[in-house]
Amino acid sequence: MTKSKCWLLFKTQMRNEFGRSLKSRGRKITSFAIGIVLLMLVFYAYMLSYGLGSMGMAEVIPSYGLAITGLITLFFTALKTNGVLFAYKEYDMVMSLPVKTSTVIASRFMTMYVLNLMLTAVILIPMGIGYAVWAAPGIIFYPEWILGILAAPLIPTTLAALLGTLIILFSSRFKYANAVVTVVSVIGTLAVLVLSVGMGQFAETIDMPEIHSISEMILTQVHRIYPPAALFFQGIARGNAAAMAAFLAGSLLWFYLFVKLISPVYKKLNTSLVTYHTRSNYKLTELKASSQIHALYKKELKRFFSSTIYCLNMGMGCLMTLVLAIALIFVRFDQLDQMTGIPNMAEMAARILPFAISALISMSCTTCVSLSLEGKNLWILKSMPIEDITICKSKILMNLTLQIPAALLAALIINIRFPMALSMRILMFVTPVVCALFNSLWGMFINLKMPDYNWTSETALVKQSLPAMAGTLGGLVGGMIPILAVLALHQIDAGLLTGVMTAVILLGAWGLWGQIRKAKI
């Protein structure tokens, strides 16, 4: 009976994750876009395994593939634990049902597991094909690899959920629990980004002719960073059935222990996150009044920083922009040439960096979902004597508050680091600001045309909805087009070309503003 309840809860959650209307035109477009991204991941994973195999390092593929999927799963699951496992919208309704707490936890965990399993399969299946091509393993490899794919998400998903639980347990002692979770998560995200850049720098010091010793070094480092990969390696590459059985059993044991560990404190943690704290010494003082736009703007700021899912997913582009700009300080110009294979890359970088910054910050597009996030509370705004355009302005200002400071700080660092003409130094500041304006208006336009106020999962709305994908990926693709144009038209003066494209983007922003002013919420 418990299993049937768990399965029923799981099916309901999966429907919420992937939307209610799978036949809608918007869902078809979303599915097509996701399909393109998945094909790119499949191609990348296969080429990675093919490249390792062609260099005589086929035995590295199992450990490397498992570590990649494990670290990706760990990173992204930790970001969405608060919103899927904890503090989700339908928590009160679910906990009022006649089901055990452990059943609820298991069903929520299964949702995260299945979503992570999809990503794991997209990476490990093509890598497994690449391994089979170069290593020519026996027939036992194929069922073991399939079992490995099924087990691979369990440990990182459990560790990520445990990490999220510890963060929430720590933050629940504070008055503003969600804010503390957000701050700690942002710090963790920054640490991962900085570590990734540092590892990239380390990779540049490897002497590629010493390929066989590198193979051993990679295995040692991967197994040290992600110990389960050692068991998986022994099972796949060395044919050690006991190691493979230990990997599978250990993965299942982690899941079982997690459910047993969290069940006693699950309700307490959720209550801490969804409870509002008030001061016992509250006193009525002077009442402060502000304009409509200012009040709505402050509301948007509070909404953004109070939601970990919203803050991290829509703030990632700005974080990546700052990390990249700071990393460029420590990269020598000759290293840029070696990393890209392009001579005089420093000079070329000065031409493309205004649009590279713009492309990165465009991934932090709050306006593409901020209207939908009003959800069923939209009637409160609509019942007030506030014009629709005022509501839109407040949401656009929120997005500009994120993007413009990140763009200007990155532009300042690049101006100091790279030699360039005066016109490009000015455009290094102007172009990203204009692109931030365009991106903010584009997101608002998309959300006005494709709103969703009946969502049940904030995570699905922010990460998987069509407006979210159109706002973030659309801005990224839109930023890449000028970069390709600059590279193709390298004989034209950089300042003139960048100035013309910036003017075109500004005209596009003006056109979007005209459409937004006419739209009705």
Q: Which two tokens stand for residue 121?
A: 């399969």
Highest mean pLDDT (candidates 40-54, 122-136, 151-165) = 122-136
Identify the band that residue 39 occupies on the pLDDT scale cut at 50, 70 and 90. confident
Spell out a b/e string for 36-58, using b for 16 or more CB atoms within 10 Å of the CB, else e: eeeeeebeebbebbbebbeeebb
- Residue 238: pLDDT over 50: yes
Q: pLDDT higher for 208 or 400?
A: 400
Q: 3-state DSSP call for residue 477?
A: helix
What residue has token string 């402060």? 288
- CA–CA separation, 418 vs 328, rounded Å? 9
Domain boundaries, the chain: 2-274, 292-518
**Left if phi > 0, otherwise alpha if psi is -120 to 50, otherwise beta: which for 136?**
left
Count Cα atoms within 13 angstroms, Cβ side, for 49.
26
Identify the band that residue 5 occupies on the pLDDT scale cut at 50, 70 and 90. confident
- Cα first-last separation, the chain: 46
Highest mean pLDDT (candidates 130-144, 245-259, 388-402) = 388-402
H-helix or E-strand spanning residue 79:
helix 60-84
Please, are residues 366 and 510 in contact by the beta-carbon 8 Å criterion?
no
What pLDDT score was predicted for residue 211? Answer: 45
Highest mean pLDDT (candidates 8-12, 29-33, 89-93) = 8-12
- CA–CA separation, 88 vs 500, rounded Å? 47
pLDDT tens figures, 47-78 = 878 877 877 778 888 888 888 888 777 766 76
What residue has token string 């075109």? 504
- CA–CA separation, 489 vs 192, rounded Å? 36
Helices (H), 204-274: 211-225, 228-236, 241-262, 266-274
- Residue 1: pLDDT over 90: no
What pLDDT score was predicted for residue 401? Answer: 93
- CA–CA separation, 263 vs 419, rounded Å? 58
Spell out a b/e string for 123-145, using b for 16 or more CB atoms within 10 Å of the CB, else e: bbbbbbebbbebbebeeebeebb
How distant is the alpha carbon of residue 43 from its chain centre? 20
What pLDDT score was predicted for residue 437? Answer: 93
Q: What is the mean pLDDT of the chain?
A: 76
What pLDDT score was predicted for residue 397? Answer: 94
pTM: 0.67
Question: 241-262 and 228-236 are packed helices; what angle lies between their axes, rounded to 10 degrees?
Answer: 150
What pLDDT score was predicted for residue 165? Answer: 67
Could you tell me which of 267, 239, 251 has the C-alpha nearest to residue 139? 239
Of 401-415, 429-443, 447-461, minimum mean pLDDT range:
447-461
- Residue 175: pLDDT over 60: no
- CA–CA separation, 123 vs 127, rounded Å? 6
Q: What are phi and psi of 341, to 5 degrees?
A: 75, 15
Q: What's the mean pLDDT in 187-213?
A: 50
Could you tell me which of 509, 357, 391 has the C-alpha nearest to residue 441? 509
- Residue 295: pLDDT over 90: no
Of 28-32, 152-156, 440-444, 462-466, minimum mean pLDDT range:
28-32
Could you tell me which of 402, 246, 420, 409 has the C-alpha nearest to residue 344? 420
DSSP notation for 374-436: GGGGHHHHHTSS--HHHHHHHHHHHHHHHHHHHHHHHHHHHHHHS---HHHHHHHHHHHHHHH
Could you tell me which of 470, 419, 437 has the C-alpha nearest to residue 361? 437
Identify the band that residue 227 occupies on the pLDDT scale cut at 50, 70 and 90. confident
Q: pLDDT higher for 483 or 204?
A: 483
- CA–CA separation, 485 vs 476, rounded Å? 15
pLDDT tens figures, 340-357 = 545 566 567 777 888 888
What pLDDT score was predicted for residue 214? Answer: 59
Q: What percent of the chain has pLDDT over 90?
A: 9
